[in-house]
A and B are shown apart, each in its own frame.
Chain A
Amino acid sequence: MSLTIARRMVGAEFLKLRKSRSTVIWSLLLAVGSVVIFFVWRQLSRHGGQPTGGTDGFWHGLELIGIFIAPLAAVLIGAEAGAGDTGSGVFRDLVVTGRSRVALFAARIPGALMLVCIVVSLSYGAMLAATFAFAGSLPNPSASDVLAGWGWALLVDGAVCVVAVGLASLTQSRPATITVLVGFELVASPLLLQTSSLGHARDALLDASVLRLSPVDLHGAPVVGETAVLAVIVMLAWMVVAAAAGAWRTHRADA
């Protein structure tokens, strides 16, 4: 398959996603809306005139984007990318073009990542604007912090998106994928991370890698002892396993 075809297939995936109003609106509400609401709420409820922006606001905002809310937007986008063709019945019509099913699957990942990058960047931009606007007497994050935070947010939300694309392609169900991953992200994973009796087994959690690779000390994050190299390996393993499972199902399933 030529690079031109690959580029156009990725563009087609992006077209499907960016024109899906419900996916785009919900993703923006979660990723950008939550940041806006968070800073407005902090501004309204601040005690003793303490500024809500600056480095303190930056850390909190980064948590929101990297750990709590923006990953849910990545799940929505990934689930739509992974199961959208099957759900609409279009997958069969793409298969009868003769194009390899693995290629059809593979195009979903960069297509979804493009939208995730836009949504996360908008969210990050809103967070930065609030951080600087409400900094008051507090120091502002440095340029390197800003860049590192942006890169980290894209990395972790991108990883979650890839896992969602793989799982959605495996289950061929958007609702099932969203339910499982949101439940895991919001409930199961934080609980497991706090369960100290699990010891180093917790290193295998995606969120352990996310925390380990964070450019700043996140508030209230559990101590994660794994090395950065191991964290990268674990994150890659999550993405590779999910993508392989999705590709396998896309290749094998009746269309």
Chain B
Amino acid sequence: MPAIDAEWPSGDFLEPAVVTRGLTKRFGERVAVNDVHLEVPAGSAFGFLGPNGAGKTTMIRMLLGLTSISSGSASLLGQPIPRARAKALSRVGAIVEEPSFRKHLSGRENLEIVAAVRGPEAYPRIAPALERVGLAERADDRVSRYSLGMRQRLGVARCLLADPKLLILDEPTNGLDPHGIQEFRTMVRALVQDEGRTVFLSSHLLDEVERVCDHVAIVDHGRVIVQGSIEELTGRAGQQVIVGVDAPDLAIMTLEELPAVREVLPVDGVLKVRLDGRPDAVSELAAALVYAGVAVSRLEPTRHSLEERFLEITSLQQEVAA
């Protein structure tokens, strides 16, 4: 499977792959997606993270023109949706919910059906796509004999028929075993890093998004609460350092006097120190301990996991709501 070519203007790469402005979907009185402003950087793995029922699939369905937009606007690869939907989707591959196939047909025949709809240029991509997802040897078996993991991979192969600049994957690891999940993550990273494609990955699994994605939007109750790079989000709450010392009481007294230190907690024989965001805070801390005569055996900066950040944000939301 070749990396994406330069058929589209090179300037496209500078534009976000997905942009939404005030995107809203109502089902009668119920608002499933509420005023969503989103920017997915091109060439990134973007996690669309939220609990089940948060509106992730509805958002994807609007982006793909599977359901109408109540208000707001959206564009894929710089093309407005739904006005230029056909052009945009010609370079988009998508798996919405679980991938569906004609089970009485083989994997190859299922791809031939989609290739027929996509156009003549999709036919030569069938064999490389099957090879790419590791299904070349089982391509002529009926899909009814495929495991769920194989069907997921066949779904990705179907996406690759478009030679996509953007892949939209909705909960792609649902039902996969740990080995399948690992394979899938590796494949997604390769699609982004080696082939320069953009992957928009919807998931309710924090760990999955943190491992695979480099940008994330956290969504809840139809609203995007926060978005940015994983680094930004996990670093935004301040820095944490684990400190091992020979005199914990003296170290605590010393550290509590430092302006950069927010909190010091003795935990399991070490000190967990929360610092403010200033860049020289760690070196300031080390210098203060040495100056006070405390022997430092361990000094390990840690960062917040996305899970901690997610819980922090959602608990803040609940407080605001209360």
Q: Using CB atoms and an 8 Å cutoff, list the residues of chain A in contact with chain B.
A: 4-5, 8-9, 11-12, 15-16, 19-21, 84, 88-90, 92-100, 104, 254-255
Contacts and interface: CB of A to CB of B under 8 A. Distances in A.
Contacts of A16: 102, 105, 113
A224 B125 CA distance: 56
Contacts of B124: none
18 contacts: A4-B120, A8-B120, A9-B117, A12-B112, A20-B104, A21-B104, A88-B101, A90-B101, A92-B96, A93-B99, A93-B100, A94-B114, A94-B117, A95-B65, A96-B64, A97-B118, A99-B86, A99-B118
B86 A98 contact: yes
A12 B117 contact: yes
Given A90-B100, A99-B118, 19 more contacts: A9-B116, A12-B113, A12-B117, A20-B104, A90-B102, A92-B100, A93-B100, A93-B158, A94-B117, A96-B64, A96-B89, A96-B96, A97-B89, A97-B90, A97-B162, A98-B88, A98-B92, A255-B66, A255-B67
Contacts, number: 84
Nearest to B99: A93
Interface residues of B, number: 33
A95 to B, nearest CB: 6
Contacts of A9: 116-117
B85 interface: yes
B236 interface: no
B238 interface: no
Contacts of A100: 86
Q: Which of A4, A8, A92, A98 has the most CB of B within 10 A?
A: A98
Contacts of B104: 19-21
Leading 9 A-B pairs by shortest Cβ distance = A89-B100, A98-B89, A12-B116, A8-B116, A98-B86, A12-B113, A255-B66, A96-B94, A254-B67
Nearest to B120: A4
B87 interface: yes
B109 interface: yes
Interface in B158-183: 158, 162
Interface in B43-80: 61, 64-67
Contacts of B112: 12, 15
A12 B94 CA distance: 20
A107 to B, nearest CB: 8
B103 A88 contact: yes
A11 B115 CA distance: 11
Interface string B98-142: 011111110001001111111110000000000000000000000
A4 B89 CA distance: 20
Contacts of B109: 15, 19
A5 B92 CA distance: 19
A96 B103 CA distance: 19
Interface in B230-284: none
B120 A88 contact: no
A104 to B, nearest CB: 7
Q: Which of A20, A90, A255 has the most CB of B within 10 A?
A: A90
B100 A5 contact: no
A97 B64 contact: no
Contacts of B100: 88-90, 92-93
Nearest to B91: A98
B102 A5 contact: no
B86 A5 contact: no
Nearest to A11: B116
A92 B86 contact: no
Given A9-B116, A93-B99, A98-B87, A19 B105 contact: yes
Contacts of B96: 92-93, 96
Given A11-B116, A19-B109, A93-B114, A98 B99 contact: no
A12 B85 CA distance: 23
A15 B67 CA distance: 28
B102 A104 contact: no
B207 to A, nearest CB: 28
A155 B314 CA distance: 65
A84 to B, nearest CB: 8
Nearest to B113: A12
Contact of B92 (A8, A84, A96, A99): A96
Contacts of A99: 86, 117-118
Contacts of B113: 12, 15-16, 90, 94
Contacts of A12: 112-113, 116-117
A197 B185 CA distance: 71
Nearest to B67: A254
Contacts of A254: 61, 66-67
B116 A96 contact: no
